[in-house]
Amino acid sequence: MQDLKTRHKSFAIAVEMLIQQLPKNTINVAYANQLIRSSSSPGTNYRAALRGKSSPDFINKLKIVEEELDESIYFLELLQHFNENFKNQLDGLIREASELLAITVNSIRTTRHKSNK
C-alpha cells in the first residue's frame, strides 16, 4: 500500500491532470481553481502534521487535512454534475478523496484517544 504522503501527492496530481482535460468554461474554471487549491493542501498539511511538535499540534494539522479533503470532494461533485463525460474519472477521484478523508478522521480519533489516556 502506498504511504499517505505518496497518496496525497498522487491525488493532487490526478486532480490537476483531470482539470487540464475539462472544457474551459466559466463553471469549470471557477470550480477548478478552487479544487486545485483544496486538493493540493492536504498533502502539504499532512507532511506538516508528521513534523508536529505535540499531539495537539498533530491533530490541528490533520483537522486542516480533513477540511481540505472534504472541500475537494464538494468541488469534484460539482464538476461531476456539469461534466457527465468525465463521470468515471471524477468518481475515482471522489473515491480516493473519501478514503483519504476516512483515514484522516480515524487518525484524529486515534490520536485523541491516546492523548486522553
pLDDT tens for residues 33-55? 999 999 999 999 999 999 999 99
> Per-domain residue ranges for the chain?
4-115
- Amino acid letter for position 15: V
Q: Scan for cell 464538476, then name that residue.
A: 79
How many whole angstroms from its chain centre is CA 54? 23
CA distances from 43 to 39, 80, 115 (A): 8, 23, 24
What per-residue confidence (pLDDT) applies to 114? 82
Residue 1 clears pLDDT 60, i.e. is over it: no
Q: Which CATH class is domain 4-115?
A: mainly alpha
What pLDDT digit, counting tens, does each position of 80-94 carry?
999 999 999 999 999
What per-residue confidence (pLDDT) applies to 66? 98
